Structure 1
Amino acid sequence: LRPVRLQLELLKAELVQQEQGVESTVVVFGSARFKAPDAAEAMLRDAVASGDEAAIARARQMVKNAQWYEQARRFGELVTREADALGEPVIVATGGGPGIMEAGNRGAFDAGGRSMGMSIFLPFEEAPNPYITPELCFQFHYFAIRKMHFLMRAVALVSFPGGLGTLDELFEVLTLTQ
């Protein structure tokens, strides 16, 4: 029944997006590990209080990387506000998880707009972030179907710093574009 499951996973998200009027997306890729500035600062305070030098070094790096979270949040907000001002039906789409993905969805949320999250079922992964428009929160079982949905309505793609998952998504886009 795997072929049926693949087809249903492709079709369900497609039908929901049609029903919700999703015509164009700006896709945001990036690290799931980056924290919001306030959360990173709290980590640093806790690490300093503990006196653990390794934890302090990790927390300092988190504070440094928090700039990317803030940039992604501002980007999501800018895309949402400008699309609304222009009357364009463009929404922010992310992988639906924490970090940069959360920041992109949060920016759209802060601007009063909708955003889409396309997460994947993985062991030990967090639930979709709370800033996704509930009707546009999808959870996929297959990476290939998820990647197809990233591109089916994409008019632009932004890749923030990330790890292997971000590189995988970015190179898949480059391959399919080619």
Structure 2
Amino acid sequence: MEDKVHSLTARNFPTAVEDVSSVVTPSRYSGPESSYKLAFADNEFLLHDELRPVRMQLELLKPEMVQRELRIESTIVLFGSARIPDPEAAQQRLRRAEVMGDPHTLRQAKMQVEMSRYYDEARRFAALVTRASERLDAPIYVVTGGGPGIMEAGNRGAHDVGGKSIGLNIVLPHEQEPNPYITPELCFQFHYFALRKMHFLMRSIALACFPGGFGTLDELFETLTLVQTGKCRRRPILLFGKDFWSKLINFDLLIDTGMISPQDVKLFHYVETAEEGWGLLQSEYGLAAPPSDTGEFADDI
């Protein structure tokens, strides 16, 4: 009887995996010039310029499908510079610079020591988010760009407390190697910046932005623009280090010249510590409530 029931729902056609594994290429058509391969198993074919839309769709689908299968619903994104070292490495560079005696190198090393506090803060914030959200109906996962610096600190903080975290790497001339703290099944690699940035926001309930350069500013301002224009729902945007951000971006000038509205500066919050950042998120989402009262946060894009 079970066989008869099963036959009602059996596949009518073999799967793609079955076809790929069962194909035996005749020797005459096994050379590099042959077109005998199945199209979806032919990497050279998939890399044609004309198949860019297909490749973009694949970069959209792969991370989405993996996270859906692992029931990841809510994330917090950590942005920040790849060039901010951990405090121990910064101190080592300072000692080497002191031995060298070059004023320029010494000044840079001292600045790196000062900036390395943000590595520690990002690491602590990621650990706090991961540990504190374990009890929620939908645990919150830390997402980073998967590289060194602040990105490494975010993944490392989640790893410190035994949690999983996500890394969205991108192929670049530099920084291609993912940091060693990303959960392997959640370590993705992208070719297209646009799709990578879309995945940063698709499940995010908040953005934590640490000091950074062009890449960090690009990611921050794209998020601010999407929220400001109503293209995505409003979410907390935390800028760690008021002194850094207020010197880097003159928001008062933008208001005075009419480039932004006065209320636009309410789209983000300055914070200094991991505890301050998490406290703001607790207040925003009621995360201190019992797990059954938290609800789902991340119905988005």
TM-score for both structures, normalised by structure 1? 0.96
Letter in 2 for 1:41: Q
1:140 partnered with 2:160? no
User: In the aligned structure 2, how far is the partner of 1:86 from the partner of 1:11?
Assistant: 26
User: 1:175: which partner in 2?
Assistant: 225
1:98 partnered with 2:160? no
Letter in 2 for 1:159: C
Secondary structure of 1:127's counterpart equals coil
Secondary structure of 2:63's counterpart equals helix
Equivalent residue for 1:25, pick from 61, 68, 75: 75
Pairwise CA distance, 1:45: 0.7
User: In the aligned structure 2, how far is the partner of 1:53 from the partner of 1:36?
Assistant: 22
User: 2:161: which partner in 1?
Assistant: 111
Percent of aligned pairs with the same amino acid: 63
Equivalent residue for 1:84, pick from 128, 134, 155: 134
User: 1:57: which partner in 2?
Assistant: 107
Pairwise CA distance, 1:124: 2.1
User: In the aligned structure 2, how far is the partner of 1:127 from the partner of 1:39?
Assistant: 18
User: In the aligned structure 1, how far is the partner of 2:124 from the partner of 2:182?
Assistant: 16
Letter in 1 for 2:182: I
User: 1:123: which partner in 2?
Assistant: 173
User: In the aligned structure 1, how far is the partner of 2:201 from the partner of 2:120?
Assistant: 25
Structure 2 residue runs without a partner (length 5+) = 1-50, 230-301
1:158 partnered with 2:208? yes
Pairwise CA distance, 1:88: 3.5
Aligned length in residues: 178
User: 1:75: which partner in 2?
Assistant: 125
Would you say the 8 A contact 2:73–2:138 is kept in 1? no
Q: Which runs of 4+ in 1 moved over 3 A?
A: 85-88
Of the two, which has the highest radius of gyration? 2
Secondary structure of 1:88's counterpart equals coil
Would you say the 8 A contact 2:169–2:176 is kept in 1? no
User: In the aligned structure 1, how far is the partner of 2:115 from the partner of 2:176?
Assistant: 20
Would you say the 8 A contact 1:91–1:115 is kept in 2? yes
User: In the aligned structure 2, how far is the partner of 1:16 from the partner of 1:176?
Assistant: 25
Secondary structure of 1:175's counterpart equals helix
Letter in 2 for 1:17: Q
Report which stretch shifted further, 70-79 or 18-27: 18-27
If asked which structure has higher relative contact order (CA below 8 Å, sep 6+), I would say 1
- Tell me how large the CA RMSD over aligned residues is: 1.0
Structure 1 residue runs without a partner (length 5+) = none
Would you say the 8 A contact 2:148–2:175 is kept in 1? no
In proportion to residue count, which structure has more helix? 1
